[in-house]
Amino acid sequence: MSEQMQNRTLVTIVIPVYNERDTWRELVGRVARVDLPGCSKQIIMVDDGSTDGTRSQLRDFAPADESQLAGESACPVDLKVIFHERNRGKGAALRTGFTAACGDVVLIQDADLEYDPRDYPKLLAPIITGKADVVYGSRFSESGRKGHWKNYLANKFLTWLSNLTTGLKLTDMETCYKGFRREVLCRIHLEQDRFGFEPEITAKVARLAVRVCEVPIRYEGRTSAEGKKIGFKDGLNAISCIFKYGRLSRRRRRV
């Protein structure tokens, strides 16, 4: 890593990728183009056993493409791609990315185009200025419903139930956009392989008594027909994880 990058705050963006052949390249370009003054970026993409051609696209992502990507960035950028041999789930892909992260701050970014990387400065500001240790990007804190009604109602119910068991006062527990001081992540032992990651990490953050805040973000939701992967079974698993990790948070010592 260059001396220029070492003298800046390093922000690692972890991107789990599964069957996103039509979106990942545009998404990475958007991530690279975001201006983060005083920061450098480490982008870690984890292909989680894609079967739609995404995997071969990422393997063919040539050094010339990486150079062009760095040229599009307003700040220094380092890119790394990691491959899972089989599909293991979003939570497993994030664990792999977290292990490889070198940043002072770690952000989570989905590989679709639902979330807008232009919100990164808002996510980073509370952490960089020392006001928070963990930041959630809320789709609902200011403008109410975003996305489709079914998903909105499910998210609101899961967030309410999570708050009930953790003592937090979040408006959007299920949001993709979460930012952490890396030392906070290093204190958390994660287990869930799929979308149970969201309630699990929320409950385990609550146990640490670190400073958590929310900031409003933009959101353009998509349907299952358009590629959204979370389903009814994932919702049931989320409820199970809320009670598994939330209610036991005061009795279990291992975070």
Asked if residue 147 has pLDDT above 60, the reply is no
Segment 225-249, tens digit of pLDDT? 544 556 678 888 999 999 999 864 4
Which among 190, 217, 187 has a CA at the least distance from the CA of 109? 217
Distance between CA atoms of residues 217 and 138, nearest Å? 6
Segment 196-219, tens digit of pLDDT? 999 999 999 999 989 999 999 999
The angle, 0 to 180 degrees and rounded to 10, between the axes of the packed helices 197-208 and 90-100 is: 50
* Residue 245 DSSP class: I
pLDDT of residue 141: 74
pTM of the predicted structure, to 2 decimals: 0.88
pLDDT of residue 225: 53
When pLDDT is cut at 50, 70 and 90, the band that residue 144 belongs to is low
Q: What are phi and psi of 162, to 5 degrees?
A: -60, -45
